[in-house]
Each structure stands twice: as C-alpha cells, then as structure tokens.
Chains A and B, each alone.
Chain A
Amino acid sequence: MQCPVGLLPQAVNRRPPSATSYSRLPADSLLPSPVAPVLHLRYDMDAIMNLPPEIIFEIWSRIPIESVLRCRCVCKLWSILGHDSTFIDLHFSKSIQRTPRVVLSTLPRARRNRIPHSLPPWLLMVNGEEGDRKIPLMGLGFDDDDEKLLRSDRDNIIVGFCNGFLCIANGKQGSPIYLCDLIFRRDSMILPKSQLPAPIKSHNSFICRGVRRSFKFGFGFDSFQNKYKVVRVWEMHGEIITVGESAWRKLDFPRYVYSCPLHLDGILYWYPIRDPYDDFDSILALDLKSEKFWSIKSPPLRSTCYTRNLIGSLDGSLFIIECCSGNDKCMDVWLLEGSKMMGAGFRLKSNNSEIRKTVYQIHCARTMLKMDRTLNRENYAEKGSDSQSGRGIKRKGDLRGEKAREDFSLFAEIQPLAGAPAAGEDFYPSSITTEELDSIRSLVFESIYDFLFGFRSGDSFDPICTFGRRVVELDFSFHQGSIL
C-alpha cells in the first residue's frame, strides 16, 4: 500500500536531541514496517490492526494525549506505535492548534520535617478535552537513583515548563539539572555538569543573604532552531546549554540578575526585583536563538508599599500588572508592544476591558491556588505521614481559618474590577461553604481554559509567593507552541 504522505501534516520535532536520553521503552527501530492492508477480509476480529501506522497516527493525533497513553496499553503493536517519535512529533504539532492547557502545581512548599520533599508529588493539568488531570511527578524515565534524588532533594525547584518538558534544578553547586518528559516519559535526561564555580560570598552582604546566593535558572524553547536551552546564572556569571550538547557555554550577563526569568516565545525576561542593587528601570531580555541580550525600559510604576506587581504573559505578549491596594484602588496593566529586539516598549492598557477581565480571572485563579495551598498545608498537618504517598489527601471542610480569610479578601479586592458585585458591596465571605468554594473554583478553572497564561515573577513581587516561594505556577506549553 503506497500511502500518500502528503495528506498527513508535517510534524514539528518536539523532542530535544538526546545525548544522554534514558530509554526503558522500545526503541524506534522496533517499529514494524507498514502492514499491507487486506481489504477483502470482512470478518477479521482485529481488523483495525491491519491499518497502516499512518492511519493510526492520523487517528491518534486527534485525541488528547491521555487517550493516546491509554491506547498504548491496548496491545503490543499499539504500544510500539505509541512510542514512535514520528507520531509524538505529529501529535505535538497538531496539538498546538488545540485547546490550550494549563498545568498548575498546588502543593505548598515543603515545611522541613513535615513533608518529605519540596516538589509536589503531582501537578494538576487543566484542560478542556478530558477534564482536569493529575500528573504524577514520578516514573519519569530516570534511573531509580536519579529519580530518588530528584524527589528527595528539598531544594529542587521547577524551573520551567515547555512542550511537555519540565525542567527541575536547584541552586546548589553540582546539583543535577533534570529535564523531565512529563507526558511521554521517554526523553527525560540529566543535563551535563556545569563548569561554573559556586556562588561565592560577595562583598555585598545584602545580596548574599538567603536565596539570592544561589543559581537562578531559565528554561525555554527556540522554535526557529527547534532547540531547548537552559540558562544558569549567578549575579553576572552565566552559562547556557543547548539541550543535546555535551557542555555548557559561558554567557556573560550585562548586569546582575537575582531572579528567575519568565520564558515567552523563545525569549527569557528577567524582571528586576525590588533591591537597591538591581536596575529597577529596565527588564533584561535574552533571545534564546541569537543568545543576545537587550534591555526594555520598565513602565513608570508607582512602586509604593501598597502596590503589588505581577509579570506574566497573555496571548503571547508580556505584561506587567500593578495593583494598588492603598487608598486609591486601581489596577494598571502594561503590555509590551513593538518588535522584539528594537523599539519594544510598554504601553498602558488598563482601559481594555478584555485585558482587565483576563487579569482578573488569572488573579482569581491564583487566589484559588493560594487557597488550595493553604488548605493542603492544613491537610498535611492533619494527615502527617500519610501525605508521603500523595494519596488519600482529602480537603477539610473548615475554611474559616485565618489564612483562608486572607485569601478571600484578596479575591474580594479584585472582584469589583470585573464589574461585579458593585463597588462598596460587602463581599467578605465570612461563612463560605465548601460547596460554594467548589463552584467558585470550577468557575475559575473554566475561565482559564480560554487563556494561556504564565507567571514567573520577580522574587519579592508575587503576592502568592508570600507563603510558599518555591511553589511555581506554570503555564503548560505542550498545547501552545508559540507561548511557552
């Protein structure tokens, strides 16, 4: 059977070229040559088995990845086909056009002695195709020892998320950097060891205090070259590696950076943190393709003690939100406009109702997350060692704790911006029931189906990070190639 390949869409390569890829699963070479279809067999039980792989791939490319993973459990042939790299790339390129998904991590940062690991045992994938789903952060395809280390090191953080790959690293010298194939669990790898010396105690004791004395990481995807890159930096000493290459390359930063960058469309953005030594007037950007830096002038923010700043991405654009909670409540939204390299600048977009709505929804979602986290923490405290497995955690009904109240006040504060309820109305939910909370949650999750958003805020700017700085909300790029 000569199947014309022209009908099948061109696949975009999703996988990084794997130099040290772990592979417990059948190699691509095991893929059988196309089976000749026997058209006249009318009563063949396994008739679908006679279809050539192209057709099977065509069918699978239209179903969500969860269903594909289930198909791999159907029979041996499908198990082999489901691991085929042509197919994985095809599914990836097709899924770019599908409903965007968001992956959220909702567990609290580990409190030492209480939770055995800092990474959540699973992430929540929010998507419109098969409902919300929990993705376990285990069985990623690493060796047992590596996986143990990945889960047991309390300083491991999620660096970034891109096309289904999750980058996990920690700021300590010599710690491995993991690239986890979260979806297919096949192309996970550990990046080569870096040559960069450990952060030393600098003359600036302020900077050296706390988390700033560790490496910061960025992870992104250059869609022009189809390559994933990881950046590692301490103050001005940086290095970069293209995933698949064997060594890091030196990357000199034009200025000090103390925060993790936001990745958007092949560019890493470092938002300045509120720090006397940081250059607060500009945002540093790194193009992952050319590996060149440039600066974008920050919008004229109020930056008072009553303001909270957020940096994120919306519809493929970078935005900064400034929320004032003082006497004059307001929300300014600044959107980055203009060409990437030259002439890009922030423009005030607060009057755009769509943006306000979106920002409001994102904010609500974040508030929900914060709430979840608070609740989870309570549950953890409650459940004690049971929580180790990540199973059996059930939410407690009592939401009237102080923390929950605080979260809801944030929710109420944002609410009038969306137009409802009317300003001045008392929205303080002093006695909200579990059912009410559930319905609010589902509303928020429904609303974020419509958007793809990502957040990576400067360390001291994220209101949600007040409790658990290490908990990262991620936007799931697997279904949105152009954003992350």
Chain B
Amino acid sequence: MSSTKIFLKSSDDKTFEIDETAARASETLKNIIDGGCLDGVIPLPNVSSNILPKVIEYCKKHGGDNGSSKKIANGGVDKDKEILPDYDEEEDKREKVRVDELKKWEEEYMDFDQQVLYDLMLAANYLHIKGLLDLTVEKAASMIRGRTPDQIRENFNINSDFTPEEEEEMILIEDEWDDEWAFD
C-alpha cells in the first residue's frame, strides 16, 4: 500500500523521504502532519544525516503499528490476549512468529557503536518515538545494571574527575553496601 511521501531535512541540509504511515510512528511528526502544517519538507534541526536514516529505518519497521514495540518491551507477552477467553490459536502462532522476527530485527538494528546510541536516544526523544527511546535507553541501562563504578566508566569511556581523597571516601561507602553478609 503506497501512501503520501513526506520529506525530512536533517541538520546538515540533507533531505530524506519517508512514507506518511511510517512517519506517524513519531508523535512529533504525527502532530505536524495532523496539524496540516505539511509544507513540503519538515526540517529537523536536531537530527543529523548520520542518524536520520537509522531513525527512518526504525519508523518504517514500526510505522502504523504502535503496538508492536510495546509487545517487544513486554517480552513478547500480550497480556490482553491471555485474558480473552477464546482467541484464535493460529492467529496467536502468527503473532509469535512476527514478534520473534521483530526481536531479531531489533537485535540487528541495535548493533552499532555508542555514539550512534546516544544520537538515537536524542533523536527518539526529540521526535517522540517511544519504542525507539525504550529500545535505546534499555540498551544503555543494561550497560549500567549490576556493574561497579569502574566497569561503568569503562563501558562509557568516562574519566573519573574525583580527587583521590574523594574516591577513597566513595569506596568506603561502596564497601558498606557491598559487604558480604552471612546470609547473602
């Protein structure tokens, strides 16, 4: 099904094409479209041409289907479906295949370096693409969860700007929390 084309202009003046249905994955773009302010090209001064194709790729996959990213976020479990007394088993199977496929796609999609991750987060936040924001933020969160400060610094290339004394004090606090306890 073909639909109206929309043109997006990146911060460095490059123009990209996107289907209207795909563009609607972004709340910001949706509002612009619905607001009738479609005047040829939509300028996106906060998104560079490096990152815009990546965003468009996501929108194409998820455009017109706001529910799917949510399902992924819930680990593929559709709670409504479980409650419904009679649902089509075939339909359920197809849905499962679709979700699995989407998961695989997301895995491949998320294979990029950290700078792209940050840029995508910013773009997703700016364009109000909840699914993409969830995806990227979750990836960053997984790099922090359960790590020590040193590991976090390493993961994100952060240089500690604390003085040795401050560092010492913080290690003490850390120890307090991490002290092995007889019943752990």
Cross-chain contact A74 with B149 (CB below 8 angstroms): yes
- In the complex, which residues of chain B have a beta carbon less than 8 angstroms from the beta carbon of A74? 149, 152-153, 158, 160
Closest CB-CB distance, B156 to chain A, in whole Å? 5
Min CB–CB distance B58 → chain A (angstroms):
15
Question: A7 at interface (Cβ–Cβ under 8 A)?
Answer: yes
Q: Is B72 an interface residue (CB 8 A)?
A: no
A391 touching B179 by the CB < 8 A rule?
yes
Proximity string of chain B (87-122) to chain A, C-beta cutoff 8 Å, 1 when within and 0 when not: 000000000000000000000000000110011011
B149, A70: Cβ atoms closer than 8 Å: yes
* A397-412 CB contacts (< 8 Å) to partner B: none
**Which of B141, B148, B184 lies in contact with A70, CB distance below 8 A?**
B148
Tell me whether A59 and B158 are in contact (CB under 8 A).
no
Tell me if A63 and B145 are in contact (CB < 8 A). Answer: yes
B32 within 8 Å of A (CB atoms): no
Q: Give complex CA distance A40, B10 in Å.
A: 12
A273 on the B face (CB < 8 A): no
Within 8 Å of chain A (Cβ to Cβ): is B140? Answer: yes
One of A37, A45, A395, A441 near B122 (C-beta < 8 A): A37
Residues of B within 8 A of A46 (CB): 156-159
| B residues 124-166 in Cβ contact with A at 8 Å | 125-126, 128, 130, 133, 137-138, 140-141, 144-149, 152-153, 156-162
A51 interface hit (Cβ, 8 Å): yes
Contacts of B48 in A (CB 8 A): 39-40
> A128 at the A/B interface (Cβ < 8 Å)?
no
Assess the B184–A55 pair: CB atoms within 8 A. no
Of the listed stretches A132-140, A223-231, A469-477, chain B binds A132-140
Does any Cβ of A come within 8 Å of B173's Cβ? yes
With CB as the reference atom, state the residue of chain A lying closest to B28: A4
B11: chain A residues within 8 A (beta carbon): 39
CB contacts (< 8 Å) of A30 on chain B: these are none
In this assembly, does A276 line the interface, its C-beta being within 8 Å of a C-beta of chain B? no
Residues of the B chain whose Cβ atoms lie less than 8 Å from the Cβ of A395:
182-183
Task: Tell whether, in the assembled complex, residue B119 and residue A55 are in contact, meaning their CB atoms are under 8 Å apart.
Answer: no
Question: How many angstroms between the C-alpha atoms of A136 and B176 in the bound complex?
Answer: 7
- Inter-chain contacts of A138 with B (CB < 8 A): 176
Contacts of A418 in B (CB 8 A): none
Docked-complex contact A4 and B141, CB < 8 angstroms: no
Task: Please indicate the chain A residues that have their CB under 8 angstroms from the CB of B51 in the complex.
Answer: 39
Q: Contact between A45 and B184 (Cβ–Cβ < 8 Å)? A: no
Name A349-399 residues within 8 Å CB distance of B. 372, 379, 391, 393-395
Determine whether the beta carbon of A55 is less than 8 Å from that of B176.
Answer: no
Task: Report A-chain residues with C-beta under 8 Å of the C-beta of B152.
Answer: 70-71, 74
Partner of B114, one of A37, A48, A73, A135: A48
Q: For the complex formed, measure the closest distance between the CB of A180 and the CB atoms of chain B, giving whole angstroms.
A: 15
Contact across chains for B158 and A75 when beta carbons are under 8 A apart:
yes
The answer to whether B121 and A73 touch across the interface, beta carbons within 8 angstroms, is no
State in angstroms the CA–CA spacing of A129 and B145 once bound together.
9
Contact between chains at A69 and B177 (CB < 8 Å): yes
| CB atoms of B126 and A3 under 8 A apart | yes
Contact status A75-B179, CB under 8 Å: no
Docked complex Cα distance between A394 and B184 (Å): 11
Q: Using a CB-CB cutoff of 8 Å, which residues 1-40 of chain A contact chain B?
A: 1-4, 6-7, 37, 39-40
Asked if A76 is at the interface of the complex by the 8 Å CB criterion, the answer is: yes
Chain A proximity of B82: nearest CB distance (Å): 17
B138 to chain A, nearest CB (A): 6
Q: Given the known inter-chain contacts A73-B149, A393-B182, please indicate yes or no for A51 contacting B122, CB distance below 8 A.
A: yes
**Residues A60-116 near B (CB distance < 8 A):** 60, 62-64, 66-67, 69-71, 73-76, 78, 106
Does chain B have a CB within 8 A of A252?
no
Residue numbers in B under 8 Å from A73 (CB-CB): 149, 162, 170, 173-174
* Apart from A2-B126, A7-B128, A124-B181, 9 more pairs, CB < 8 Å: A3-B126, A4-B125, A7-B130, A51-B121, A59-B144, A60-B144, A63-B145, A66-B177, A393-B182
List 10 tightest A-B contacts by C-beta distance, closest first. A73-B149, A62-B141, A73-B170, A134-B181, A48-B156, A59-B140, A395-B182, A136-B176, A45-B157, A39-B48
Residues in chain A within 8 A of chain B (CB atoms): 1-4, 6-7, 37, 39-52, 54-55, 58-60, 62-64, 66-67, 69-71, 73-76, 78, 106, 122, 124, 129-136, 138-139, 372, 379, 391, 393-395, 441
Chain B interface residues toward A at CB < 8 A = 11, 27-28, 46-48, 50-51, 114-115, 118-119, 121-122, 125-126, 128, 130, 133, 137-138, 140-141, 144-149, 152-153, 156-162, 170, 173-174, 176-177, 179, 181-184
A-B contact pairs, 28 of them (CB 8 A): A1-B122, A1-B126, A4-B28, A4-B128, A7-B125, A39-B50, A40-B48, A41-B115, A43-B115, A45-B159, A46-B158, A47-B118, A48-B157, A49-B158, A55-B125, A58-B121, A58-B133, A62-B138, A62-B141, A70-B149, A73-B173, A74-B152, A74-B153, A132-B184, A133-B177, A134-B179, A136-B177, A393-B182
